[in-house]
Amino acid sequence: MQQVKIMNQEQNNNNQVAAEEKRPRENSVGYFKIQFRPEKQLFSASTRLQGLQKNDVVMVQAEHGLEPARLLSVVPGWPEKESKKKVTPLIIVRRGTRDEAAKFEKLGDMETNAFRICSELIEKHNLPMSLVKVERFFNGGKIIFYFTAENRVDFRELVKNLVQEFRTRVEMRQIGVRHETKMLGGLGCCGRELCCSSFIQNFESVSIKMAKEQNLPLNPAKISGACNRLLCCLNYEYKTYKAARKGMPKVGKKIIFNDQGYKVRQHNVLKETIVVMNNDGEEFTLTKDEWKSAVVQPSAKNK
């Protein structure tokens, strides 16, 4: 009798374990790389949906509603521990239906057709503007035409024609050369895809001071990008160079090393060395240990 009770107890425990395994567990959040248009910028998106595969069409929450996107790859983890910038991923709401996937495939052709029609109307009205890109909302609620122009353009008649043609809201947005390059894409001087068209979402200010801090040649052809503006990548290592220079004697300062006077001529931040010149005009390279042991002479103002 006791053996029967033990067997029944073991069976109840097994049934309880099986029931717990069948209970729906809270799905963990997964992160993916998605693309709203072929060969355009990639975005990060999160979701609790399970079983998503590469090339699936998913519906993503945008500012104006749901927009379809193609799932390209899984992101290993989020957020990146080394990144201090707060970047919020988009949210994948659900999988796209067959009809939505079919409409998504035609969306690019619809935008190409709208680009052609608008270009013809711009030429017809003889407007001093250059059309760059057309973006059509998936729900058909609006079409945005991005263009560049040197001055303000009176495009009221153009908008009337576009509204009559597409029977939806039309918005004209004038953009600068940096945003134009971002939309058109291309290759940088490094041989890779332009940063702005591949991953940069918001432009940060770039100054000539950043090039000087990194000992780069101040040649516009060498430090300018495809947009003829300063390279965005000047910003990437600027803080690192600035922090590394803090402990180094400034260029132009006079130092005493091994009882001899020298003047600092140049920094090599990557090697952590400095180039100095003695009173005879001879140049020497001091290692980190050497220039750290040197004594910096106070300037005349501090005397």
**pLDDT tens column, 222-235:** 999 999 999 999 99
**pTM more than 0.85:** no
| Region of 157 on the Ramachandran plot (φ > 0 left; ψ -120 to 50 alpha; else beta) | alpha
Mean pLDDT of the chain: 84
Name the more confident of 145 and 17: 145
Which residues have a Cβ under 8 Å from the Cβ of 241 and sit 6 or more positions away?
213, 214, 269
Which residues have a Cβ under 8 Å from the Cβ of 203 and sit 6 or more positions away?
178, 179, 196, 232
Percentage of residues in the chain having pLDDT higher than 90: 42
Using DSSP's 3-state secondary structure scheme, residue 116 falls into helix
Distance from the Cα of residue 87 to its chain's centroid: 10
Which residues have a Cβ under 8 Å from the Cβ of 188 and sit 6 or more positions away?
194, 195, 225, 226, 231, 233
**Residues 187-210: pLDDT tens digits?**
888 889 899 888 888 888 999 999
Q: Report residue 42 as tokens.
A: 């990639």
Strands in 142-148's sheet, in edge-to-edge order, are: 130-136, 142-148, 169-174
Categorize the per-residue pLDDT at 23 as very low, low, confident or very high, splitting at 50, 70 and 90.
Answer: very low
Q: In this predicted structure, which of 2-16, 64-78, 88-102 has the lowest mean pLDDT?
A: 2-16
* Other beta carbons within 10 Å of 177: 13
CATH architecture of 104-175: 2-Layer Sandwich (3.30)
Mean pLDDT of 177-183: 91
Task: Please count the residues of the chain.
Answer: 303
Q: Where are the domains of the chain?
A: 30-96, 104-175, 179-241, 247-298
| Strand 90-95 to 130-136 pairing | unpaired
Could you give phi then psi for residue 211, rounded to 5 degrees? -70, -40
- Quote the CA–CA distance of 92 and 49 in Å, as a whole number: 8
- Quote the CA–CA distance of 161 and 173 in Å, as a whole number: 16
CA within 13 Å, CB half, 250: 5
Assign domain 247-298 one CATH number from 3.40.50.720, 3.40.350.10, 2.30.30.140, 3.40.50.2300: 2.30.30.140
Instruction: Calculate Rg over the CA atoms of the chain.
Output: 31
Whether 75 contacts 43, CB under 8 Å: no
Show the beta-strand stretches assigned E in 96-241: 130-136, 142-148, 169-174
pLDDT on residue 156: 93
Whether 269 contacts 244, CB under 8 Å: yes
187-217 per-residue burial string, b: 16 or more CB within 10 A, e: under 16: ebeeeeebbbbeebeeeeebeeebbebbeee
Categorize the per-residue pLDDT at 105 as very low, low, confident or very high, splitting at 50, 70 and 90.
Answer: very high
